[in-house]
Each structure stands twice: as C-alpha cells, then as structure tokens.
Amino acid sequence: MKILYQGSEGAYSQLAALEVYPKMDTISCKTFEECFQKCTENENLITIIPVENSIAGRVADIQYLMNKYKLQIYAEHFHKVSHNLMALPGIKIKNIKSVRSHSQAISQCQKVIKENNLEPIIAADTAGSAKFISINLKKDEAAIASTLAAEIYNLEIIKKNIEDDKKNVTRFLIMGKNAKHPEFKKDKYITSCIFKVKDKPAALYKCLGGFATNNISLSKLESFSEHSSFEQYLFLCDIVGHIEDPKVQKSLEELGFHTVSLDILGVYKASNFRDI
C-alpha cells in the first residue's frame, strides 16, 4: 500500500501522511485530481487530502472531486501547520525582496511579510516554492514552507513558526477506492455523505429534521453547486455517529425521503483532536 499526496516533496501533505503512516511509501502528485484519479484506478493506493484549515477555511474544489470520484474515507487527521521562512544558505532577511509560497501560506503569514516589506508571489504549493528557489539560486527571494522542505532542498530557515495564528490546523482525509468501515463499538465515529436535495420548498429543512428528531449532531454541512448551476445544490455532511447506530440509520432514512441522491463517503473513527 502506498499513499499519494498533492505537491512537491516536502509538502505539508507529505508531513501529515508520514505522521499517520510513518513506514508507508509516499508518492507526490501534481494536482488533487491526479491523487483521486490514481486511487480510483488502483486499489493498492490511498491518498491524503486537505479539506479545511482552521484559519483559511475549506480547500477549494475538493468537494467537487469528492463528489466526482466517490472515494471512500478511511480516517481523518488534524495536522498542526508550522510555517517557516527560508532562503539560500547565508542569505539574510535584509537581502530578501520577495517571498514565494502557496496562496494559503501567504495569507497565513501576513505579519512577517508586512514587517519585512516583502512582495508576495503566489505559487502552486509550498514545497515547490522551496524547490524553485533552490534550483534557480534566487538570492533575493524566500519561500514559506515546512522544515522538511528546507532539509530536502538545502535551504536555510531564517525564521521559524511565522504563522500569524499559532492555532493553525489543517484537517486531512485519508481516502481509497474500496468501501470499508470500523466495527460499531462505543468509540466516537464520523459518517460522511453527499446528498442532493429535491427542488421543493423547505427541502433542506426537511432533510435535517431526522437528525434533530433522533438527537444526532452534524459536525459539518456545506453546500456547493453542481455543473456550474445555481438552481440546485449538493451538500457535504459529516454526521457524528456510526452508520450502524439505529439513530443514525433512522436519520438517514428520513434524509433519503427528501433527496434526489445520497452517497455515503465513509464511516471512520473521529480523531482525538476533536476532544482537545
């Protein structure tokens, strides 16, 4: 079994993957869709995908890919993000004019960027930015990336932990092709699904009524349009509970009455991070 992640070697997604599976081989992919597509084609591959950040919110387009490929969610992982400002060895911060990184990393490190009057350059990913500076020997440019990226691309960390908010956490989902879920015990579980409401008045209100009646909590509910249409919406939902719990089953039965489609994306143990 191998795990795919988006970004260059040294990306935060690779760090998160190694936290969960320290002995598993990690494979870099250029795009999120490449991760999804390869997992769909090969049951011996899984992928780790960032879905939301405590500061920047949800990661763009992931919900569309989840709906398109219908990979099964096996687990969730919360990764603390620690950003670092790095440059070529020997370069001082006074010599740096610009900083390169992913748009979310740039937005999460505004304080150090403004304090040092740096021009931000938006790039595809954090580790790729470190790689770019290393290959092109950019003496007046820095990157915002992980300590692993600095090590891989032989860059020197000028400032550590430069994120504006130290409570910077990204939630990742581990997904694969085959459907499987843990045995229903007394643990805390999450059941994730995507549903499309019927085009009727108060349809969403009726969809959610079953959860209220059965005293089932939702930890996440977000909408997104389908095929660039603003007339009918899909909803990505995280239900606190196991699908074999009778209360969850009754809630899903009620939900089914008011939906055009309902897809279960996975049942998995809730991370202990949720209790912190």
3-state secondary structure of 6: strand
If one compares 71 and 198, the residue with the highest pLDDT of the two is 71
Alpha helices in the chain (DSSP H): 12-20, 32-41, 62-69, 103-107, 110-115, 126-136, 147-152, 203-213, 246-257
Task: Classify domain 84-159 at the CATH class level.
Answer: alpha beta
Residue 60's pLDDT is what? Answer: 84
pLDDT band at 96 (very low <50, low <70, confident <90, very high): very high
Domains 2-80+168-176 and 189-275 share a fold: no
Q: Give the start-to-end residue ranges of the domains of the chain.
A: 2-80+168-176, 84-159, 189-275
pLDDT in tens, 227-270: 767 777 899 999 999 999 999 999 999 999 999 999 999 999 99
Q: Are 155 and 134 in contact (CB under 8 A)?
A: yes
| DSSP secondary structure string for all residues of 158-173 | EES---S-S--EEEEE
The DSSP code for 274 is: G
- Give the whole-angstrom CA distance, residue 121 versus residue 139: 15
**What is the rounded average pLDDT of the residues 183-197?**
95
In one-letter notation, the amino acid at residue 19 is E
- Give the whole-angstrom CA distance, residue 107 versus residue 164: 9
- Give the whole-angstrom CA distance, residue 216 versus residue 250: 10
Q: Are 150 and 156 in contact (CB under 8 A)?
A: yes
pLDDT band at 202 (very low <50, low <70, confident <90, very high): very high
pLDDT in tens, 100-116: 999 989 999 999 999 99
pLDDT in tens, 7-64: 999 999 999 999 999 999 999 999 999 999 999 999 999 999 999 988 888 888 899 9
The fold adopted by the segment(s) 189-275 is Alpha-Beta Plaits (3.30.70)
The answer to pTM > 0.75 is yes
Residue 55's pLDDT is what? Answer: 84
In one-letter notation, the amino acid at residue 160 is K
Residue 57's pLDDT is what? Answer: 86
Q: Give the homologous superfamily in CATH for domain 2-80+168-176.
A: Periplasmic binding protein-like II (3.40.190.10)
Residue 127's pLDDT is what? Answer: 96
